[in-house]
Chain A
Amino acid sequence: MTGESCGLFEYGHRACGGCAAAMAARTILDAAGKDTIIVSATGCMEVFSTPYPDTAWKVPWIHSLFENNSAVASGIVASLKKQGRKEKVIALGGDGATFDIGILCLSGAFERGHDFVYICYDNEAYMNTGIQRSGATPYDASTTTSPAGKCSMGNRRPKKDLPMILAAHGAPYVATASVAYLPDLKKKVEKALATEGPCYLQVHAPCCTGWGFEGEKTMAIGKLAIETGLWVNYEMEDGKVTRVKKVVRKPVEVYLKEQRRFRHLFKPKPNETEIAKIQAVADRNAERFGIDIKLKK
């Protein structure tokens, strides 16, 4: 089948083998269809998919800067409205672009209520520049700017709760998803696109290169994040949590020990204190979202 096309996200892109962001891009375009304009922030996905002139995108696509995709999307939405055109607009960014440098534009666009969908592929650090911490990096993860060391246990802060911040802007639909559950992601993209107003989707995208696991384990790691309660897949409509993926929870160690970024928590022996803090994060998530499935005795 060489030479045939493969959907709206063309093969030949330069993502690492096993890349979750590439899976997300394929799934998003599969859900959105060809009448969609994509506005990418600078980042891994932008770089691996568009070295001139080899773009992987087969829908109209634009990249301007790192931190302005929401503002560029605002302008596109306004222009389409003025022209009476019906294309959908999706802004795409990594967690650095979304949580940190682009939050001004994101907040402004959501407050103004433009009809577009913002999708963050969240791989929990600046991967494109070499695995530096971002506002989405979880507690104790070792990155190149939050390295574990003699007097450091890695990243000192928990992950910023961006979905809640955007829900507080009055966004009609906010949801989290994971590449570990692609049909669910696809459904959420469809739902966000069908909802009028600014919608936000945050997709957990385990990064084999940045987190330190083999590329074939991308989905397995994503599943473990959900099964331990460290990532929760949920939907919020008009500010209220309406749907949550429930699990029979596993202890956080099963997730942590599979990844190089948490290896320092287990060497030379498991660091009970720190692991307990991370377990507490999962426990809080479980309580807040009610994710625990109670097994019958």
Chain B
Amino acid sequence: MMEFMEGSHAVAHSVKHCRPEVIAAYPITPQTHIVEALAEMVANCHLDAEYITVESEFSALSACLGASAAGSRVYSATTSQGLALMFEVCFNCAGMRMPVVMSIVNRALGAPLSIWNDQQDSISLRDSGWLQFYAEDNQEAADLHYLAYKVAEDRNVLLPAFVCFDGFILSHTYEPVDMLTQEQVDSYLPKYTPVQRLDSADPISFGLFASPEYYMEFRYQIDQAVKGAAKTIASAGREFGEMFGRDYGDLVESYRLEDADCAIVAMGSICGTVKDAIDEMRKDNKKVGLLRLRSFRPFPHKEVRAALSGVNCVAVLDKNVSLGTKGAVALEVRDALYGQQVPVLDYIIALGGRDVRKKDIRAVVDMAGQGKGDLFYGLRQELVS
């Protein structure tokens, strides 16, 4: 049913439909509307979950880890500094193979302190073993939570997952969203049955330490699971499409790429603006297309290579920067295109909430056409010279 909803509320409702048994979260802007909405559902018996109001994000994810180990489906949400505080637990959740699902309402990381959007927070956890999905709009932000649980809990995966969507730009924006009913979600997402759990009837030890004879093999298995998740995402995404008409089986989305000379690569809400800009440029006979990454982990190397091998240039919009080198997306796209002779130019853009308009996308495409890239786009030169 179509409803006009704030992004955070759409996400909270889809989380409710996933029937999490334990929720642990700590308030942080711009995540608060989600956890407030869930608290209200619990307070009014609309959601039968244990809600732990922890004293920090570090404890939020630690509590989720414990509840997951005890056999419950769990949920948390955070952003920015909160995610940074969870860093240690993030690696732990993945290594211990706990299928925690967490919303990341993407926000810049300090210093300087900023509450506004970019994607530095989740990108910085790229090595942690979490699956990372990025939503373009509120519909996708809501839907990806169903997909995330389905994939994370799959016996061939058993990994935690981030569902990332841009802070304020999506979280605080009202859009029409087709909300599934509880029955629909129940028919897609089965009740969680853990492979193993803390249980006195079968007293397993969890989280032992590994000596050098074992450590690498454990890490190898996590890596294999992340890579292998692509297959599960494909089947779970297709199934979602067959049931509800919105197909998430592809890790990437191509927009007007078939005959494009120049391809833009981006993730998240910026892609809406990019699509509009492409439509305008197409009217001016500029052959521009978009490759949107929906999954950053696993990284869709094959799909990127297949989609971009024929273009003359690639412009990557990175809402993050790996300080001292380039944006994380550009680095991976270059890796995927290694040996293809396609120039990949990187544009660090929209950090800390700087607005991006269609004219900016056109400017980027113009610069790419001139071979000018690998720069921070839109810098106020008077402040840095």
User: Do A and B interact directly, with beta carbons closer than 8 Å?
Assistant: yes
Bitwise, B188-224 to A at CB < 8 A (1) or not (0) is 0000000000111011111111110010000000000
**Complex interface: stretch among B56-64, B300-308, B336-344:** B56-64
B5 at the interface (CB under 8 A from A): no
Residues of B within 8 A of A109 (CB): 59
**Complex interface: stretch among B70-78, B107-115, B122-130, B274-282:** B70-78
- In the complex, what residue of chain A is closest to B205 when comparing beta carbons? A55
Interface size class of A (residues with CB under 8 A): 35 or more
A289 at the interface (CB under 8 A from B): no
* Distance between Cα atoms of A296 and B175 in the complex (Å): 85
A-B contact count (CB 8 A): 159
Q: Which of B69, B72, B209 contacts A47 (CB 8 A)?
A: B209
- Find out whether the CB atom of A72 lies under 8 angstroms from the CB atom of B65: yes
Q: Which of A78, A104, A105 contacts B22 (CB 8 A)?
A: A78
A62 at the interface (CB under 8 A from B): yes
- In the complex, what residue of chain A is closest to B53 when comparing beta carbons? A112
- In the complex, what residue of chain B is closest to A42 when comparing beta carbons? B209
* Distance between Cα atoms of A111 and B92 in the complex (Å): 25
B28 at the interface (CB under 8 A from A): no
A245 at the interface (CB under 8 A from B): no
Known A52-B210, A82-B49; judge A62-B55 contact (CB<8 A).
no
Interface size class of B (residues with CB under 8 A): 35 or more
Residues of B within 8 A of A62 (CB): 66, 69, 198, 205-207
Residues of A within 8 A of B104 (CB): none
- Find out whether the CB atom of B200 lies under 8 angstroms from the CB atom of A57: no
Known A59-B203, A79-B21, A105-B59; judge A64-B70 contact (CB<8 A).
no
- In the complex, what residue of chain B is closest to A58 when comparing beta carbons? B203
B234 at the interface (CB under 8 A from A): no
Known A75-B67, A79-B72; judge A108-B59 contact (CB<8 A).
yes
* Distance between Cα atoms of A158 and B24 in the complex (Å): 36
- In the complex, what residue of chain B is closest to A62 when comparing beta carbons? B206
A17 at the interface (CB under 8 A from B): no
Residues of B within 8 A of A71 (CB): 54, 58-60, 62-63, 66
**Complex interface: stretch among A30-38, A129-137, A202-210, A223-231:** A30-38
* Distance between Cα atoms of A119 and B204 in the complex (Å): 21
* Distance between Cα atoms of A50 and B64 in the complex (Å): 23
| Further contacts, 15 of them, CB under 8 A, given A79-B74, A83-B71, A105-B58 | A34-B200, A52-B214, A53-B208, A57-B205, A59-B200, A59-B203, A60-B199, A61-B203, A63-B206, A71-B66, A76-B69, A79-B22, A79-B50, A82-B22, A87-B199
Interface residues of B (CB under 8 A from A): 21-22, 24, 49-50, 52-56, 58-60, 62-72, 74, 88-89, 92, 96, 198-200, 202-211, 214
Q: List 8 A-B contacts (CB under 8 A).
A: A50-B209, A57-B205, A65-B88, A65-B92, A72-B62, A75-B67, A105-B59, A108-B54
The 6 A-B residue pairs with the shortest CB-CB distance in the complex, in nearest-first order: A75-B66, A108-B55, A75-B63, A71-B62, A72-B66, A79-B70
